[in-house]
Amino acid sequence: MTVSGNSAPRSSSAETTDLAAQVGRVAAPLRQQVLDVLRQAILSFHYAPGQRLIERELIEEIGVSRTTIREALRELAAEGLVKTIPQKGAVVVVPSPQEAVELYELRAVLEALAVRRFTELASDEQVAELREAFEALAEAATGAGDTLRVLKTKDRFYDVLLRGCGNRSVHSTLGGVQARLSLLRATSLAQPGRTGRSVQELRTMIEAIEARNADAAVRACNHHIEQAKRAGLEGLSATSGLPFSGATL
């Protein structure tokens, strides 16, 4: 299976990237590369919420086989970023406001538990690792608005937190919730000023963790998620045209 060297068709958006050029840059299986490229294109809104992902156009744009595209779309569907609609095909997911609220509520419960257990049980080395991950996130947030880089460093922060909480069920379940929230996390961080506020909220949380103050850490965690929920729902409304009401919060 080869990757086409032809130039990929480009959309009219000034922010559009050449997706085909991104495939083949790293030594990873082609299927994984295509999956990463499509995931990034969705989270950067190259493909907007509700947009159809037409196999023929993806094949031409990325320069790979239909089988590879279908495998990547199946994986994206499992992650909750894409859904298949009869007679229409694959479409970028548009969570309803109610679905979004339910996911944030579930995240709040699980993450508060993870934060409390980490604060009480994590070793000093794990707390230091969490601080290191946070500083990487803070540095990424000072960049030129690279939402994807911020998301990746934030994923690392949460990976350290979940590994150190000592509860594998919380780790796996919350990991799945975070995956389903990926699009909403991107829309949240895309809101003006949200990335900086998010970093400050997490700074408050990690300082409470370092002080081994579980109650304060959980309060900071709850505040962070509440603010993320508000920004995510506002972003969802802006990108999808769905109505937003603060009353849903």
The mean pLDDT of 107-130, rounded to a whole number, is: 97
Is the pLDDT reported for residue 3 higher than 50? no
Task: State residue 244's pLDDT score.
Answer: 42
Give the whole-angstrom CA distance, residue 235 versus residue 192.
10
| Alpha-carbon dihedral sign for residues 6, 11, 15, 19 | negative
Q: In terms of pLDDT, which residue wins out, 96 or 226?
A: 226
Q: Give start and end residues of each alpha helix (H) in 2-123.
A: 19-22, 30-43, 55-58, 66-79, 97-121
Q: pTM here?
A: 0.71
CB 206 within 8 A of CB 134: yes
Per DSSP, the three-state class of 60 is helix
Lowest mean pLDDT among 7-11, 101-105, 135-139, 188-192: 7-11
In the chain, domain spans: 19-92, 97-248
- Reported as a single tens digit per residue, the pLDDT across 129-146 is 999 999 999 999 886 556
244: tokens are 């937003």
Bridge partner residues of 164 (DSSP):
none
* Structure-token match 């794990």, residue found: 126
CB 22 within 8 A of CB 37: yes
Fold exhibited by the domain 19-92: Arc Repressor Mutant, subunit A (1.10.10)
Is the pLDDT reported for residue 127 higher than 90? yes
Q: What is the mean pLDDT of the chain?
A: 83
The mean pLDDT of 40-47, rounded to a whole number, is: 82
- Reported as a single tens digit per residue, the pLDDT across 160-183 is 999 999 998 998 888 778 877 877
Q: Are strands 89-92 and 52-53 parallel, antiparallel or unpaired?
A: antiparallel
Per DSSP, the three-state class of 28 is coil
Closest CA relative to residue 149, chosen from 135, 139, 160, 159? 139
CATH, domain range 97-248: 1.20.120.530
Q: List C-alpha distances in Å: 188 to 33, 57, 109, 134.
A: 26, 29, 19, 19
Could you give the dihedral angle defined by the CA atoms of residues 228, 231, 232 and 237, in that order, rounded to the nearest 10 degrees?
170
